[in-house]
Amino acid sequence: MDKKSFFNQMAEGWDERFYAQEMRERLPQLVSLFQLQKRARILDVGAGTGGIIPYLLEAIGPEGSLWAIDYAEEMVKIGRMKFQKESRVVFELASVENLPYKDQFFDHVVCFGAFPHFEDKKEALEEMGRVLKTGGTLMIAHTLSSVALRSHHQNCGPVSTDFLPEEGEMRSLLGKAGFQVKRLIDEPKRYLCEGEKI
């Protein structure tokens, strides 16, 4: 089975499986580290069913706006349904390699639980950088350390070899894509790599 089919198949029941109480309790603290501006325009890449979106909306406030993209149709279907009454949210079917937005459109790009799955990480970073304003920030985040994430994925069929790059490689990838790495936190139950577009 290819990766996209795997995620499509996982869409139903995703929230029940991955957004248990413990995860929901950890998200406000993780999102507070993103330092999102009130009234910001943000993009959630690889948004799945939008599990982190309520926390992002809380951070950007009533005048912020949020676009969410995912390449798996079933994820987007559920995401659209969940946020149909939320005027600040637009859910779209798109790939990270080809984002349907103009250059420098967003203040922040958030990539939560998705970066290891991108086939071409260089291309993904360049494309996320293209749609970010200069000085805008990219947050690559997980609620696990890179080591814990590696074992979490190990028995997951088509994503079993999807890992976060080692720290040196991550810094080099971001640098080549036009980001300055502001923070790289990799500790139990938390991973955050923040890049500022220069």
Ligand X SMILES: C[S@@+](CC[C@H](N)C(=O)[O-])C[C@H]1O[C@@H](n2cnc3c(N)ncnc32)[C@H](O)[C@@H]1O
What residue ranges bind ligand X (CB under 6 A)? Answer: 7, 18, 46-48, 51-52, 70-72, 75, 95-97, 112-114, 117-118
Work out how close the CB of 151 gets to ligand X at its nearest, in angstroms, rounded to a whole number.
15
Compute the least distance from the CB of residue 181 to ligand X, in Å. 21
List Cα–Cα distances, 160 to 19, 99, 155, in angstroms.
Answer: 21, 26, 6
Q: Which residue, judged by CB position, is nearest to ligand X in the bound state?
A: 48
Nearer to ligand X, 159 or 184 (CB): 159
| Nearest distance, CB of residue 95 and ligand X, angstroms | 4
Which C-beta is closer to ligand X: that of 2 or that of 63? Answer: 2
Q: Tokens 């912020």 appear where? A: 64
**Closest distance of CB 72 from ligand X, Å:** 3
Euclidean distance between CA atoms 31 and 163, whole angstroms: 22
User: How far is 105 from 148, CA to CA, in rounded Å?
Assistant: 34
Assign residue 90 a region: left if phi > 0, alpha if psi is -120 to 50, beta otherwise?
beta
